[in-house]
């Protein structure tokens, strides 16, 4: 069964994008599922919480989730569904309306205690929509949201779970940089110094051969990116993908850190995917790791990109349920897993400027 699916995946591949007919059809089923799950107010529900080691601690169960709503909206945009037009145009419009209502006076986009991850995903989604529609009510909300991101950058150049805190980490930083890049692309003011400081932060988190004692913790190797610049901080496949995505988002497309990071990810791709994919019931590590990884490999292109797509698409095809959804046993839940899976499968379509080479 698995061999037949793999042969079908390879035989129907689009040589221009690396996508497969099977992968595109899976994404379409996922979008249909998401459309059916959208709430009347335009939101999607999920468990609001935070990761705790390899678990997920919930503080608001099955609540309207700003971050998951933004990811679901991005999934429809990535499938080519334009606000106000087409099969899912009304779905996208309802998403926009809901998120605009969650923009607080200080620019923070939050509800039910969601945090900076969700703020960044929401800012990214609204910026991409603004680039398509130029709705008058989007620009002031976007500028406030961007101003909050800029003001929340810490002295190291990164961001953390909450606005205006001293700490920072790679994963949260990647979300903010993508949001800032999208906003800057459509004319929202973003200080150059903010981007420069983010690049400096990610450079300090890269593991290099000339670093003293680079291997003292978590078996880090040259090419890895750490959770934080501290040598004691862990280094993982998702964090390396996030580090490369930050550099790409800042306009750095080819250098030693990126080249070594891609090679390191190639060596970890199979083991990471199997450990946290179907076998783990769609762990949140799997989804956010591949959300960044598909962007990193997509920009690099070539054989590395094609090999990557073959692996991740096959895993996603095996994981999809009969109703079109994807499981997320550890994390915010099924809507999160499905939205992110659809994004991973559709990012190579390049319908959105943020995902173009």
Q: How confident is the model at residue 220 (pLDDT cuts 50, 70, 90)?
A: confident
pLDDT band at 231 (very low <50, low <70, confident <90, very high): low
Judged on CB neighbours under 10 Å (0-12, 13-18, 19+), 11 is exposed
Confidence of residue 218 (pLDDT cuts 50, 70, 90): low
288 pLDDT exceeds 70?
yes
At residue 7, the pLDDT reads: 35
Q: Is the pLDDT of residue 18 over 60?
A: yes
The residue count for the chain: 357
The two structure tokens encoding residue 199: 């690049």
Q: Is the distance from CB of 274 to CB of 281 less than 8 angstroms?
A: no
Nearest CA among 169, 194, 70, 190 for reference residue 161: 169
Mean pLDDT of the residues in the chain: 91
Residue 324 and residue 29 in contact, taking contact as beta carbons nearer than 8 Å: yes
Closest CA relative to residue 237, chosen from 200, 277, 196 = 277
Report the pLDDT averaged over residues 90-102. 97
Per-residue model confidence as pLDDT tens digits over 34-45 = 999 999 999 999
Query: Is the pLDDT higher at 121 or at 207?
Result: 121
In angstroms, what CA-CA distances link 66 with 13, 72, 208, 336?
34, 10, 37, 11
Lowest mean pLDDT among 154-163, 204-213, 264-273: 204-213
- Mean pLDDT for 77-102 is 94
Mean pLDDT of 24-48: 98
Q: Does 4 score more than 50 pLDDT?
A: no
Does position 109 have pLDDT exceeding 90, yes or no? yes
- Which residues share a beta bridge with 103? 109
DSSP states of 81-108 as a string?
A: --TTSSTTHHHHHHHHHHHHHTB-TTS-
What is the rounded average pLDDT of the residues 182-191?
95
What's the pLDDT at 262?
97
**Segments making up each domain of the chain, as ranges:** 38-355
The CATH number of the structural domain formed by 38-355 is: 1.50.10.20
In this predicted structure, what is the pLDDT of residue 212? Answer: 63
Region of 306 (left: φ > 0; alpha: ψ -120 to 50; beta: rest) is: alpha
Residue 351, pLDDT > 60, answer yes
Does 300 score more than 80 pLDDT?
Answer: yes
Q: Name the 3-class secondary structure at 158.
A: coil
Q: Which two tokens stand for residue 74?
A: 């991005």
120-132 exposure pattern, b = at least 16 Cβ within 10 A, e = fewer: bbbbbbbbbbbbb
- Strand, helix or coil for residue 189: coil
Report strand pairing: 45-52 vs 55-64: antiparallel
Measuring CA to CA, which residue among 230, 295, 215, 220 is closest to residue 258? 295
| Contacts for 122 with CB less than 8 Å, ≥ 6 apart | 66, 67, 69, 70, 99, 102, 109, 145
Average pLDDT for 152-174: 94
């Amino acid at each position: 069964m698995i061999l037949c699916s793999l042969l079908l995946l390879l035989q129907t591949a689009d040589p221009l994008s690396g996508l497969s007919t099977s992968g595109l059809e899976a994404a379409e089923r996922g979008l249909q599922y998401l459309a059916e799950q959208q709430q009347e107010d335009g939101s999607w529900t999920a468990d609001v919480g935070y990761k705790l080691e390899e678990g997920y601690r919930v503080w608001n169960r099955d609540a309207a989730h700003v971050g998951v709503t933004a990811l679901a909206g991005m999934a429809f945009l990535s499938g080519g569904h334009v606000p106000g037009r087409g099969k899912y145009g009304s779905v996208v419009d309802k998403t926009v309306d809901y998120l605009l209502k969650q923009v607080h006076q200080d620019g923070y986009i939050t509800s039910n205690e969601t945090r900076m991850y969700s703020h960044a995903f929401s800012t990214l989604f609204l910026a991409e929509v603004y680039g398509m529609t130029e709705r008058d009510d989007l620009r002031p909300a976007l500028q406030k949201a961007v101003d909050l991101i800029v003001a929340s950058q810490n002295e190291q150049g990164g961001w953390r779970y909450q606005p205006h805190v001293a700490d920072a980490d790679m994963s949260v930083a990647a979300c903010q940089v993508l949001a800032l890049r999208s906003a800057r692309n459509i004319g929202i003011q973003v200080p150059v110094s903010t981007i420069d400081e983010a690049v400096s932060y990610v450079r300090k988190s890269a593991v290099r051969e000339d670093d003293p004692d680079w291997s003292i913790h978590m078996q880090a190797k040259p090419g890895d990116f750490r959770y934080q610049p501290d040598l004691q901080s862990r280094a993982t496949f998702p964090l390396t993908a996030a580090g490369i995505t930050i550099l790409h988002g800042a306009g750095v497309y080819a250098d030693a850190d990126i080249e070594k990071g891609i090679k390191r990810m190639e060596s970890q791709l199979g083991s990471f995917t199997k450990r946290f994919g179907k076998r783990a019931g769609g762990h949140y590590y799997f989804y956010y790791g591949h959300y960044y990884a598909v962007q990193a490999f997509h920009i690099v292109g070539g054989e590395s990109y094609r090999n990557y797509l073959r692996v991740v698409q096959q895993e996603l095809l095996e994981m999809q349920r009969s109703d079109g959804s994807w499981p997320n046993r550890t994390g915010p839940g099924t809507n999160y897993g499905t939205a992110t899976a659809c994004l991973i499968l559709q990012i190579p379509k390049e319908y959105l400027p943020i995902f173009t080479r």
